[in-house]
A and B are shown apart, each in its own frame.
Chain A
């Protein structure tokens, strides 16, 4: 938590401030706020991924078998883990959101509350995705590598750090991927919530629907994988 807070502060205090002076004229004056909002989503993504690492720790200590023997359905178990992971990442990122709001401001509190609610589904979806990948791979090393690769791609092929229009200028393919990237939807929604509406990729409604869909998809996939991979033969 301390490390990530320092990382966040360093990113906005050094990198964000310097890069906002390098950008093209049309982004001057807005890029810093744009970047700070994006960094919040990056933090939310990376803290939601933590739950996958917890799975390996639980497997190592044999807690997994205990959880699978409890009088709860697999669906409840995966949902419980996703919600737990999502809430935890929100608790981690909460103070950083406050810092971001102090920098960016909030134009419309209702929009912000709507955006924040939808971001909760984003955190749950990422937690579900992380659980799904962890359980599917059953290997801490492979999980670590894949999450590193995924993080590199999913963050960079999104509007976390740059608007969609500039991605499109670089590559149509990149733009196509970024448009459907849940990180893009979450970034856009957060920016809409705080009142940065200039470079939205999709409408807020589409972003909300997309994030809720992302959550349901990974919860469903998570349950299926959980049953297939774990009930089929334990952890190893």
Chain B
């Protein structure tokens, strides 16, 4: 159970070194992405001018304040509350996100499925689990909103955040076929019949 500090962007070797159960702190940059962003990028083939190669994306649509442009708010947005949404809805986009945009890490909650695990193994990626619903805390790890693209989808725009010591995050899925979520699901499936049998009239 190692702890890794990753200065983003990063390369395949650093990602392959991550194992489920390890923890990670991210530094420098993080990109916010979610349902509408991915639908427009991949189902409608819209391109972004932001470079995601080697980067981490987080499943989010933030609460932001519109403010005058300044050093602290280069595109006129200040972070207000930034948290994480359920990842599983974005399952079918992982492979394309890695292939076309070069994304290496997904930060999310609730875990993802077999298609994502397969993409991680083939291309060198990992899933970093954050505590969902802990957005006020997560916001304290974000310094500024440095850029935004596809903002007609607001708040489901493509956001670029400058971050400081973002984490610790738990490696929930790695590039070696490991998934803490799948491990728990197998354990739960094994307990299911005994739990049902303990209920009156439910067997």
**Are both chains from one complex?**
no
B-contacting residues of A (Cβ < 8 Å)? Answer: none
